Amino acid sequence: MVVRTLAFVIVRRVLGLLGRGPAPDAKDVEIAVLRHQLMVLGRQVARPRYALIDRLVLATLAKLLPRTRWPVFLVTPATLLRWHRELVAHR
C-alpha cells in the first residue's frame, strides 16, 4: 500500500515537472504520510519503532511537504531532519 501511494506521489511530481499533469499538492503528500504512519502503528502495540525503510519514506515525504504541514508527523521536526541527514550521508 505504501509503495503504491509513494509511487503515485512520485509519478504526479514527475508529470508536474514535465508539464504533463498536476504536481502533487501538500494534501496528497500529507495523505501519503498519514497512510504510512497508520501502517507503522498497525504493526505495533507499544511505542512505534520506525524501521529504516519507514524513516526513508517519511524523510523523503517531509521534503515534499511545506514545514507548516509537518505537525501531521508523529515525530518532531528535529527527528525528521536528522533522518534526512542520515539518508543523505548513506548515499
pLDDT band with cut points at 50, 70 and 90 for residue 24? low
What is the dihedral sign for C-alpha 55, 79, 62, 88? negative
Q: Which residue has the cell 524513516?
A: 55
Joined together, the cell numbers standing for residue 34 give 498519514
Whether residue 61 contacts residue 37, with contact meaning beta carbons closer than 8 Å, is answered with: no
Return the pLDDT at 15: 74
Element (H, E) at 22: none
As for how many domains the chain has, the answer is 1
Domain that holds residue 30: 2-90
Return the pLDDT at 1: 57
Q: What is the pLDDT of residues 56-86, one digit of tens each?
A: 888 888 888 888 888 888 788 898 889 889 8
Share of the chain above pLDDT 70, in %: 89
Give the Cα separation of 62 and 21 in Å (integer): 22
